[in-house]
Structure 1
Amino acid sequence: MALFSAMMGAALAPVGTKRALAAEVDAVGATAPIGFAEVIERVRPAVVGIRVKTDQRGLDVERRQSIPPGSLLDRFFKQFGVQIPGDPLPGSDVTVGSGFLVSGDGYIVTNEHVIAGGIEIEVTMDDGKVHSAKLIGGDPQTDLALIRISAPDDLPYVRFAEAEPRIGEWVLAIGNPFGLGGTVTAGIVSARGRDIGEEPYNDFIQIDAPVNKGNSGGPTFNVRGEVIGVNTAIYSSSGGSMGVAFDVPAETVRSVVRQLREKGHVTRGWVGVYLQEVTPGIADALNLKNTRGALVAQLDEGPAARQGVEAGDVITFVNDHELKNPRDFARTVAAIAPGTVINLRLLRNAQEMSLDVTVGEHSRTANARSEEQPEPGEKSALGLTLAPARSISGAGDEGVVILDVKPGRGALDGGLQVGDIIVAVSGRGISTAADLNSMVDEARARAKRTILVRIKRAGTMSFVAVPIT
């Protein structure tokens, strides 16, 4: 089965100043251009190769653990010998990637994973000249970094596209695959808005232009010579190009690079909610008309909790922006400056309400995780065997622990697992198997097809819609 073959090589960024190299190409007609030579001649001088000498011992523990040991991705990367951020290439302390100039005074965008752990950064220009570079700042959440070379002003640079690319548009990727600097490949935009399981702040563009290891951090251009995205990852079963590559969109790059240039790091808005998708089953259990929005599964001691948001609320709007899903919420709030008051429109018990919340500043924290061996319990509705949480060491005092799930019953279909702690059903807390049985009977009497179960799994709260018919 094909999997993500890793973050390949380098990234790109925006900015603007003196003589930009964005191609002054006439409007593209309905037919495809005969060739791309003129565009390439204009923009390629701004694309660079990046070579980084790394001190693997200097990489922090968090980055080494960004892909859990033994996970599917971890095993895949090791099988194909692909570099993991924070993991050295076999027998080498050098990584290669790509980048591009976004200003005439030497600022270059690349991928954060290209320069991670770097003690020396070397940039090779299109004309073969080599410069030392210094790191201005990096952002692991979007895998973008900004570096700078000391060179005479008025270096060639490129601009970011203002408009989003359309699916089917021609695109050109330029980079340093396998150390082959200045390599150009062509393809089209295959899709937009791709979620590839990375941090929630990216909404990837998918392209089919061949992209390989070493292209990371390099730019993808439209036929007008504008950067539409930064090459960051590929989807592959072999470690090489299979025609599926992913770019960080220009809009995201522009925002991140602006902050990196101004202060060396990225500040993001945060309100302290853990969100999940509103599935059709959850929508049915909550009497919702559609699956848009984001379901609040858990809250930190943050702005949202202090200002009235509750677990089980479905957030539908941030100010006047209607939310599609949890990722949409994360990107929208992250772009808002801490201290700003925002309006959240939400549904609680199928009733509309509005709350004003003051945005805080995002910080990443790790959740504690524990595993306990279940003990004998009591059989209940839906094919579950349950025990009060207080009777299971380490499970806490709230809810009931699932000790067994009988195949062929609604609980298994709904996604409940052994070890889950059921803390509430349909918004009401439970402490025994009898509580669950009573609530299931009540829901059936009301002709409900599903019930909404709130669970704690590995220290994290979430909701599960469980069929009861």
Structure 2
Amino acid sequence: MIARLALQLAVALQAAALVACASGPVQVRPGGEPPATFATALARALPWSVGVYGARPRQDATGDERGDAPPWTDRATAARIGAGFFISQDGLVVTAAHVVLDAPEIVAKLDDQRVLRAELLGADSDADIALIRVPVALASAPPFGSSSSVWPGDWVLAVGEPYGLDRSVVAGIVGGRSRHFSEDGALLFIQSDLSLNPGNSGGPLLDTRGQIVGMNLRTVVGMIGGPGLSLSVPIEVVRQIAAEIGGQGGVARPRLGAGFEDVTPLVALARGRPYADGALINEVRPNSVAAGLGLREGDIVVGMNGWPIGDSADFARALLHWRSVERVRITVFREGGYRHLKVAP
């Protein structure tokens, strides 16, 4: 009996070895095991994190008119609370636009607890990103990383002021990269399971080395009180939009004026296309660039200016690199064939 079990075990191990050889060596991305603590990474990043408050007199505020003021405000002053981080040594800070837009006064709280008034330089309300200036000079540049360095399963950190809690830190893992949602136009997100709350919007997303790889923006709440998922804008997109807002060498890109989403298998079959790829146009706004190009609802975009469009995230990425309306060429699948669209001369 024992001999037979031993023989079966040997055969099973041999089969497993053959499967491993057939599938090739396991690909392990460089980086090693995660650290036992994130304290070192946070020590590197915390000096660049900023608490941001969009303040207004309480009689001018909308929403919170309760007698008991929340902990980050008082009975005379109401405030939207958020976070932000420095993107330059001369006091430029990025934050969530909804925190500071229409606020008569913007207050920033620094790492050393200094409280300073900030100036709104501009905002991209579609992307929900704003640029403010704090009157302070920094000794060194912020520690920027790359959003492409974080992969599904990697640890990430968020710093913010949730519910007024000073410089609160949470950790989670990346669930996906290059997420796109129809209502967000040409904007991409890093998905994670970070626990973000009011006061985290605009704060930095960090990797385990303390590098800033994104801006935390919002949480998509799950059904029936489920935890949902959190979304952060890649740092490259944040810096591009900030440069456009502040005129720091950024060139404002055209706005398409169309909504789009991934192509589902059922939609692909209904359109007579054997592949569920491309970006499905689900809205074309009147008098927009999209309307001028001749885009229609139901078109499947498969190429733009030489870029193959595999999904809606690819289309968003191409739109982020778009600079000239006159030179744009968009290829769509419509009514069983391909059409090349461009602005009429």
| Band of TM-score, shorter chain | 0.7 to 0.9
Post-superposition offset of 1:303: 5.2
CA contact (8 A) 2:185 2:260 kept: no
Structure 2 residue 344 is matched with structure 1 residue 342:
no
What is the CA–CA distance in structure 2 between the aligned matches of 1:138 and 1:166, rounded to whole Å? 29
What is the CA–CA distance in structure 1 between the aligned matches of 2:178 and 2:150, rounded to whole Å? 11
> Match for residue 151 of structure 2?
166
What is the CA–CA distance in structure 1 between the aligned matches of 2:186 and 2:119, rounded to whole Å? 26
> Match for residue 47 of structure 2?
45
What is the CA–CA distance in structure 1 between the aligned matches of 2:297 and 2:181, rounded to whole Å? 27
> Match for residue 86 of structure 1?
none
**Pairing of 1:155-304 with structure 2 (within 5 A):** 157-161=142-146, 163-195=148-180, 198-236=183-221, 242=227, 244-262=229-247, 267-271=252-256, 275=260, 278-295=263-280, 300-301=286-287
What is the CA–CA distance in structure 1 between the aligned matches of 2:266 and 2:92, rounded to whole Å? 49
CA contact (8 A) 1:207 1:243 kept: no
> Match for residue 19 of structure 2?
none
CA contact (8 A) 1:187 1:207 kept: yes
What is the CA–CA distance in structure 2 between the aligned matches of 1:305 and 1:96, rounded to whole Å? 38
Post-superposition offset of 1:33: 1.1
- Secondary structure, aligned partner of 1:212: coil
What is the CA–CA distance in structure 1 between the aligned matches of 2:294 and 2:165, rounded to whole Å? 56
Post-superposition offset of 1:144: 0.7
Q: 1:298 to 1:101 in 2, by over 3 A?
A: closer
What is the CA–CA distance in structure 2 between the aligned matches of 1:310 and 1:221, rounded to whole Å? 40
What is the CA–CA distance in structure 2 between the aligned matches of 1:317 and 1:90, rounded to whole Å? 55
> Match for residue 35 of structure 2?
33
Q: 1:110 to 1:284 in 2, by over 3 A?
A: same
- The CA RMSD measured in Å over matched residues stands at 3.8
Which amino acid in the other structure matches residue 288 of structure 1? Answer: R
CA contact (8 A) 1:317 1:323 kept: yes
TM-score normalised by L of structure 1: 0.56
CA contact (8 A) 1:106 1:153 kept: yes
What is the CA–CA distance in structure 2 between the aligned matches of 1:238 and 1:310, rounded to whole Å? 32
What is the CA–CA distance in structure 1 between the aligned matches of 2:263 and 2:43, rounded to whole Å? 48
What is the CA–CA distance in structure 2 between the aligned matches of 1:92 and 1:210, rounded to whole Å? 28
Structure 2 residue 127 is matched with structure 1 residue 125:
no
Q: 1:240 to 1:39 in 2, by over 3 A?
A: farther
> Match for residue 126 of structure 2?
141
Q: 1:246 to 1:303 in 2, by over 3 A?
A: closer
TM-score normalised by L of structure 2: 0.74
CA contact (8 A) 1:212 1:241 kept: no
- Secondary structure, aligned partner of 1:49: strand
Post-superposition offset of 1:169: 0.9
What is the CA–CA distance in structure 2 between the aligned matches of 1:302 and 1:211, rounded to whole Å? 35
Q: 1:286 to 1:252 in 2, by over 3 A?
A: same
What is the CA–CA distance in structure 2 between the aligned matches of 1:317 and 1:170, rounded to whole Å? 34
What is the CA–CA distance in structure 2 between the aligned matches of 1:202 and 1:182, rounded to whole Å? 27
- Secondary structure, aligned partner of 2:236: helix
- Secondary structure, aligned partner of 1:283: helix
**Normalized per residue, which structure has more helix?**
2
Q: 1:239 to 1:52 in 2, by over 3 A?
A: farther
Structure 2 residue 136 is matched with structure 1 residue 151:
yes
Name stretches of at least 5 consecutive residues in structure 1 with no aligned partner.
1-26, 65-82, 84-88, 360-469
- Secondary structure, aligned partner of 1:33: coil
Which amino acid in the other structure matches residue 41 of structure 1? Answer: A
CA contact (8 A) 1:54 1:116 kept: no
What is the CA–CA distance in structure 2 between the aligned matches of 1:264 and 1:54, rounded to whole Å? 33
Q: 1:238 to 1:94 in 2, by over 3 A?
A: farther
What is the CA–CA distance in structure 2 between the aligned matches of 1:276 and 1:157, rounded to whole Å? 34
Q: 1:92 to 1:297 in 2, by over 3 A?
A: same
CA contact (8 A) 1:344 1:355 kept: yes
What is the CA–CA distance in structure 1 between the aligned matches of 2:256 and 2:151, rounded to whole Å? 33
What is the CA–CA distance in structure 2 between the aligned matches of 1:239 and 1:157, rounded to whole Å? 40
- Secondary structure, aligned partner of 1:248: strand
Q: 1:141 to 1:151 in 2, by over 3 A?
A: same
What is the CA–CA distance in structure 1 between the aligned matches of 2:327 and 2:91, rounded to whole Å? 37
Identity %: 31
Q: 1:208 to 1:347 in 2, by over 3 A?
A: closer
Q: 1:314 to 1:112 in 2, by over 3 A?
A: same
Q: 1:170 to 1:271 in 2, by over 3 A?
A: closer
Q: 1:122 to 1:239 in 2, by over 3 A?
A: farther
What number of residue pairs does the alignment pair up? 308
